[in-house]
Chains A and B, each alone.
Chain A
């Protein structure tokens, strides 16, 4: 034990970057010399205290920019054993390079929607609804596929609400075993079950008092817990596990799911009454593959972000590589796109990232794109007036619809417009 301890201390001395290891309670268990010199742990604590409403253990890996006295980019790795969160490691990144400067702009603050990028009308509508209802106390249900940015929306609603100075507490209902979820949500009294702390522990609802609680993947919650949640919504009071008294809580509930709750209600797996309670304001986030015009904007946004975080020169994709990114199906939505950009910037050293540098799943999509364009050739015979009219109805009259139709016919949008004009449609 002594040997490995000394070995770790010595080895980490030579890395040149700060490393700190924290347990599940965010207590420091190890730091190397550079981390000590940079006051890494305390700066991390200051940062998390400043942004109490953010969760730092929901993703396995992410980047942060610490401020004060000077900006310091760091990487965080969270460790889990099965579903149990064990702790995290903090790493400084490229500490010896010039530090990133980060003054706060004069009077403008990030309103939470800053990082939600896109011009898609459905996305803009979702943002507009979220903006409108943010100052109210209504419960919000955010629906969308995994990776579409539901938590970002929830945070933005909180940031724009009157509760913005209160905490924002997020909990993923699918990531925690049912037996633990109840005590996570409502807390427990001392000694209420084996392994419980003798002092007891407040639950997320208590922690979110005067703020917002974000219940992610609510569709995965068991029906018995759904009943308890419904009671909290009705009474605005919680009862800790093993406790007898009720505690009043003033919490706004924002939930999210990628599951079809209506179907779950039919199957008896989701309570109808709870659904009506949480679904006062529904917000739908469209999938990335249905908003292809936004892909280039997101690519640019993340290219800049990771160029800065990785302390590299700004780089972009070649025309061909970008085309491929635009036509890839993005099952993992914005999260997948962000990961792909970070990956490409890491593995490519060229100023222009080429097709060869893309991850394999995207390169493989070339073949299927080629195949489908071959299929398209068959339909690219010029349709007659009625056929074109029918196709226009099928693909809708919007620009996006026309773009999709042009793609389907394997012609340019300009040609499609020419045909439309010719047929006087």
Chain B
């Protein structure tokens, strides 16, 4: 696995270095749409790694070779502090996954450009000296492997290798991603709650058709807006500007208020957050239904946003995006909607990641449809 690419010149978003870590961290939370896990520990590991090896090439999908093989690495499950991954487990599982093919791997990609799965593949890529591809298969955070563009495009993820938190390896060969997800999930929950995975060896020509382009650089651009946000209105202006010129679409402020209640819905795996409006929305109430990620939002009992569009929360005290585990009653927040890329909005994708896929009995209404005059 030798890959040395010395880039020079104008590659602001082409060659990652230390300056990318913080933007990607905030971007990974925003694109997590409430979920995706917190990748703070990875920022320390990455900082250290970039001190040793200062840059990592980020390849545009247009730049990858049709005949070359590329692989994914990532984390699944809930991380426990005592057994945080170090990235080195990624090297071994990647080698194991690679042993099933004859050629080399020319680069890595992530399945999920959100939460921990933005930073972890960068760490592993740097450790194994491979470039990372600027794209992913979810465009946001989702909890399951079949919620990827691989599944919608009827492409498998094998070979697929998991390493659990105890350092055991498992080679999974289910071609059906839904079955693969079940097996992987069973292993991970039985063996300590989290695992690292590698696999989905795919030719460049196929990846060009499967991955959503430029989601990593978009996460960084998005994250930059949170670093020195200035005022809230400046933050919103910048978010709108960055998101407008992306494959997502313009971010839209859905609500501003104070979190009144955070509740679990008994017997089912849903949580709700109730936000009471402030200022101009004083008499309004906003509700978000959560199942891992923020899935459906209502303003005064009318639908205000729906999965796969992203519903992200910004803490108005700090002007930073927050995951659902950080939410507290009394917190002053702004709820921001971000349209999902079109690849997630198509009928064959909605079947697996639209509102009905999560048990909601109503058809998907996109942000662009709900706020048509804002967008067009």
Residue B154 is within 8 A (CB to CB) of chain A in the complex: no
Contact present for B252 and A103 (CB under 8 Å): no
Report the minimal beta-carbon distance from B117 to chain A, rounded to whole angstroms: 24
Give A106 to B286 CA distance when docked, in angstroms: 11
Contact present for B10 and A399 (CB under 8 Å): yes
Give A313 to B8 CA distance when docked, in angstroms: 43
Residue B187 is within 8 A (CB to CB) of chain A in the complex: no
Residue A351 is within 8 A (CB to CB) of chain B in the complex: yes
Q: Which residues of A contact B8 (CB under 8 A)?
A: 417, 420-421
CB contact under 8 A between A399 and B253, given known A103-B371, A104-B371, A314-B346: no
Question: Which of A67, A398, A399 has the largest count of B CB atoms less than 10 A from its CB?
Answer: A399
Residue A6 is within 8 A (CB to CB) of chain B in the complex: no
Contact present for A421 and B7 (CB under 8 Å): yes
Contact present for B244 and A300 (CB under 8 Å): no
Interface SS of chain B: helix, strand, loop or mixed? mixed
Please pick, from A102, A107, A296, the residue contacting B372 in the complex, using a CB distance under 8 A: A102
Give A179 to B368 CA distance when docked, in angstroms: 44
Q: Which residues of B contact A280 (CB under 8 A)?
A: none
Interface string of A286-329 (1 = CB under 8 A from B): 00000000101100110111001000011110010000000000
Report the minimal beta-carbon distance from B357 to chain A, rounded to whole angstroms: 15
CB contact under 8 A between A418 and B5, given known A101-B370, A105-B253: yes
Contact present for B342 and A316 (CB under 8 Å): yes
Contact present for B59 and A107 (CB under 8 Å): no
Q: Which residues of B contact A114 (CB under 8 A)?
A: 240, 244, 250, 374-375
Q: Which residues of B contact A313 (CB under 8 A)?
A: 346-347
Give A389 to B168 CA distance when docked, in angstroms: 52
CB contact under 8 A between A65 and B347, given known A103-B304, A108-B236: no
Residue B301 is within 8 A (CB to CB) of chain A in the complex: no
Please pick, from B11, B252, B369, the residue contacting A399 in the complex, using a CB distance under 8 A: B11
Report the minimal beta-carbon distance from B334 to chain A, rounded to whole angstroms: 9
Residue B273 is within 8 A (CB to CB) of chain A in the complex: no
Question: Which of A67, A101, A297 has the largest count of B CB atoms less than 10 A from its CB?
Answer: A101
Contact present for A300 and B342 (CB under 8 Å): yes
Q: Which residues of B contact A402 (CB under 8 A)?
A: 9
Residue A347 is within 8 A (CB to CB) of chain B in the complex: no
Question: Which residues of A from 119 to 149 have beta carbons under 8 Å from B?
Answer: 119
CB contact under 8 A between A314 and B342, given known A108-B236, A108-B253: yes
Give A409 to B256 CA distance when docked, in angstroms: 53
Report the minimal beta-carbon distance from A107 to chain B, rounded to whole angstroms: 6
Contact present for A107 and B304 (CB under 8 Å): no
Residue B373 is within 8 A (CB to CB) of chain A in the complex: yes
Give A315 to B256 CA distance when docked, in angstroms: 33
Contact present for B245 and A351 (CB under 8 Å): no
Q: Which residues of A contact B245 (CB under 8 A)?
A: 117-119, 294, 297
Q: Which residues of B contact A303 (CB under 8 A)?
A: 342
Q: Which residues of B contact A67 (CB under 8 A)?
A: 373
Q: Which residue of B lies closest to A101 (CB)?
A: B370
Q: Which residues of B contact A119 (CB under 8 A)?
A: 245
Residue B302 is within 8 A (CB to CB) of chain A in the complex: yes
Q: Which residue of A lies closest to B213 (CB)?
A: A296
Question: Which of A101, A117, A314, A319 has the largest count of B CB atoms less than 10 A from its CB?
Answer: A314
Question: Which of A296, A303, A308, A315 has the largest count of B CB atoms less than 10 A from its CB?
Answer: A308
Contact present for A110 and B374 (CB under 8 Å): yes
Q: Which residue of A lies closest to B349 (CB)?
A: A314
CB contact under 8 A between A351 and B348, given known A108-B253, A114-B374, A297-B246: yes
Residue B299 is within 8 A (CB to CB) of chain A in the complex: yes
Q: Which residues of A contact B303 (CB under 8 A)?
A: 101
Contact present for B373 and A107 (CB under 8 Å): no
Q: Which residues of B contact A115 (CB under 8 A)?
A: 376
CB < 8 Å A-B pair total: 128
Q: Which residues of B contact A399 (CB under 8 A)?
A: 10-11, 14
Give A27 to B253 CA distance when docked, in angstroms: 39
Please pick, from A300, A316, A413, the residue contacting B346 in the complex, using a CB distance under 8 A: A316
Residue B249 is within 8 A (CB to CB) of chain A in the complex: yes
Residue A227 is within 8 A (CB to CB) of chain B in the complex: no
Please pick, from B11, B246, B302, the residue contacting A103 in the complex, using a CB distance under 8 A: B302
Give A397 to B7 CA distance when docked, in angstroms: 13
Give A350 to B236 CA distance when docked, in angstroms: 37
Interface string of A398-423 (1 = CB under 8 A from B): 11001000000000111001101100
Contact present for B374 and A108 (CB under 8 Å): yes
Please pick, from B247, B250, B345, the residue contacting A296 in the complex, using a CB distance under 8 A: B247
Q: Which residues of B contact A359 (CB under 8 A)?
A: none
Give A315 to B281 CA distance when docked, in angstroms: 35
Interface string of A203-229 (1 = CB under 8 A from B): 000000000000000000000000000
Give A421 to B3 CA distance when docked, in angstroms: 13
Contact present for B6 and A421 (CB under 8 Å): yes
Residue A86 is within 8 A (CB to CB) of chain B in the complex: no
Report the minimal beta-carbon distance from A286 to chain B, rounded to whole angstroms: 14
Contact present for B63 and A105 (CB under 8 Å): no
Give A420 to B8 CA distance when docked, in angstroms: 8
Give A313 to B345 CA distance when docked, in angstroms: 8
Give A414 to B62 CA distance when docked, in angstroms: 9
Question: Which residues of B from 233 to 254 have beta carbons under 8 Å from A?
Answer: 236, 240, 244-247, 249-250, 252-254
Residue B18 is within 8 A (CB to CB) of chain A in the complex: no
Question: Which residues of B from 249 to 267 have beta carbons under 8 Å from A?
Answer: 249-250, 252-256
Interface string of B256-300 (1 = CB under 8 A from A): 100000000000000000000000110000000000000000010
Residue A100 is within 8 A (CB to CB) of chain B in the complex: yes
Q: Which residue of B lies closest to A396 (CB)?
A: B10
Give A315 to B350 CA distance when docked, in angstroms: 12
CB contact under 8 A between A305 and B374, given known A114-B244, A351-B347: no
CB-CB nearest 4 A-B residue pairs: A421-B6, A314-B345, A414-B63, A119-B245
11 A-B pairs, CB-CB below 8 angstroms?
A: A105-B254, A107-B256, A117-B245, A297-B246, A300-B341, A301-B249, A316-B342, A351-B347, A413-B62, A417-B5, A417-B6
Taking Cβ atoms with an 8 Å cutoff, the residues of A that contact B are 65, 67, 71, 100-110, 114-115, 117-119, 294, 296-297, 300-301, 303-305, 308, 313-316, 319, 351, 397-399, 402, 412-414, 417-418, 420-421
